[in-house]
Amino acid sequence: MIARIWHGWTKRSDAKTYENMLRDEIFPSIAARNIKGYRGARLFMREDADEMEFVTLLRFDSMDGVKEFAGSDESKPVIFPGVEKLITRMEPAQHYRIAIAREL
């Protein structure tokens, strides 16, 4: 299992708008693509000085699914239309092999 982790920041005043877009539009549209091996998304948020940090975690069975999602440059952030005006800065996506996963 692969975890794709991406960090981006917004102004505090744009944080709720971006959170709503992720929940209502972006995550559902990723799921609707029916990417083989896509296993869902998580959103983490925290206040960071005068910004809000957003961390997304998408799970895939393999890097093949990541490449289907992100393209050949899998570290490039996938930014959906309308989001670029909300993001103040971002980092490339990172990919990790999930070695241990325990659910309660």
Structural domains of the chain sorted by starting position, each given as residue range(s) with its CATH number in brackets? 2-97 (3.30.70.100)
What is the spatial distance between Cα 75 and Cα 42, in angstroms, rounded to a whole number?
18
Q: pTM value?
A: 0.93
- What is the tens place of the pLDDT at every residue in 35-82? 999 999 999 999 988 899 999 999 999 999 999 999 999 999 999 988
- What is the tens place of the pLDDT at every residue in 80-94? 988 999 999 999 999
Assigned token pair, 104: 């309660």
3-class state of residue 63 by DSSP? helix
Q: What pLDDT is stored for residue 14 in this prediction? A: 96
Quick one: which of 13, 71, 10 has its CA closest to 43?
10
What is the spatial distance between Cα 57 and Cα 50, in angstroms, rounded to a whole number?
23
